Amino acid sequence: MNPLTGLYGSVTALRNTLFDRGVLSSRRLEQPVVSVGNLSVGGSGKTPFVIALGELLKTREIRFAVLSRGYGRKTRGVLVVESAGKASDFGDEPLLIARRLGVPVIVGESRYDAGRLAEQKFQPQLHILDDGFQHRSLARDFDIVLMTENDVGDRLLPLGRMREPLSSLARADAVVLPSGLAVDHPALQQKPVWQIERELLLLNPPSRPVVFCGIARPAQFFAQVRAAGISPAAEMIFRDHHAYGLHDFQALIQARRDSRADGFLTTEKDAVNLAPNHHGLEPLAVAVLRLTIDRPTDVVDAILTRIRERKPRS
């Protein structure tokens, strides 16, 4: 084992043990918290799942707020996301969630402080904690963990992409797997396992675009584009949560000229980071990742039932 990986694993295990034994405490909000998280770094579909879960809660007329760190923003403190705002102020994923769901999304280094603001300002009946599995300083009532095909057999950081080992799934209340993936692990025994389907929606895409993205797993996006029948003239990869600048736009336009592409294609998250204007990236098509949860009624029922079963708040 790499010494750095061993050190990372030891620190992670110690931290979890301190929380489990109550040495490190978790603060509790007035309203229930449903956490959506994962074991690995990026690319598990947390944001599409938050959106899909939020849409299910809206059909039940349940008022909720979304709490997020606001990764990548240049601001600090607790802020209510403005749907017409900029990714640099709120983070690309919180901004995308706010635009898609039309509900209060609050960002803050302390998700407890973000939740308190949400309760004071919007009176939600429930909170969705985005990327919250490792954020144990905030107590939660239901922990949902998304897994990818690559999590099984992967290694801990820094050699691999895993934040925690598979044994940490014992803390989860439910595990979400891509359709067709089966995971056999003791930590999953007698736990709800939900299946999801992913679909890439393309509206009037160019036939030979420059396909580009700044996401955690770009190869997956490029494969989905090809599976949708699009033949990229060129592909360009930027770092995750990339804030596009003038130099990037010039490079993309040059790539179009060099490859004789007939336009551009990118992800919905990247489109958020391109705003407020696209600096000549025309025509530009945006691929929307739609996530469908199998047996959605059972999912919401399981969450609400577990929340009611939890110990009453003091």
Q: Tell me which of 3.30.470.20, 3.40.50.300, 1.20.1250.20, 2.40.50.100 is the CATH number of domain 3-197+292-309.
A: 3.40.50.300
Q: pLDDT tens digits, residue range 128-169?
A: 999 999 999 999 999 999 999 989 889 999 889 999 999 999
What is the Cα Rg of the chain in Å? 20
Residue 8: per-residue pLDDT: 79
What are the Cα distances from residue 290, in Å, to 89, 230, 272, 277?
A: 25, 18, 16, 24
- Residue from 142, 174, 106, 118 nearest 32 by CA: 142
Burial 208-223 (b: 16+ CB within 10 A, else e): bbbbbbbbbbbebbbe
Tens-digit pLDDT profile for residues 212-267: 999 999 999 999 999 999 999 999 999 999 999 999 999 999 999 999 999 999 99
Chain centroid offset of residue 3 CA: 30
Q: For residue range 270-304, what is the model confidence (pLDDT) as tens digits? A: 999 997 777 789 999 999 999 999 999 999 999 99
> Looking at residue 160, what DSSP letter applies?
S
| Confidence (pLDDT) at 1 | 58
Residue in 259, 203, 267 with CA at minimum distance from that of residue 231: 259
Domain ranges of the chain: 3-197+292-309, 207-282
Mean per-residue pLDDT, 177-203: 92
Full strand arrangement of the beta sheet holding 105-107: 79-80, 105-107, 64-68, 126-130, 33-38, 142-146, 174-178, 193-201, 284-293, 264-267, 210-213, 234-237
User: Cα 210–214–217 angle (5° rounding)?
Assistant: 100
Q: Are 94 and 68 in contact (CB under 8 A)?
A: yes
Residue with tokens 């494969």: 223
Instruction: Kindly compute the dihedral angle of the four CA atoms of residues 54, 57, 58, 62, in this order, to the nearest 10 degrees.
Output: -120
Pairing of strands 33-38, 264-267: unpaired
Give the model confidence (pLDDT) of 36-90 as tens digits.
999 999 878 999 999 999 999 999 999 999 999 999 999 999 999 999 999 999 9
Quote the distance between the C-alpha of residue 252 and its chain's center.
26
Tell me the pLDDT of the chain averaged across its residues.
93
Rounded to whole angstroms, how far apart are CA atoms 73 and 300? 31
- With beta carbons less than 8 A apart as the criterion, state whether 183 and 29 touch: no
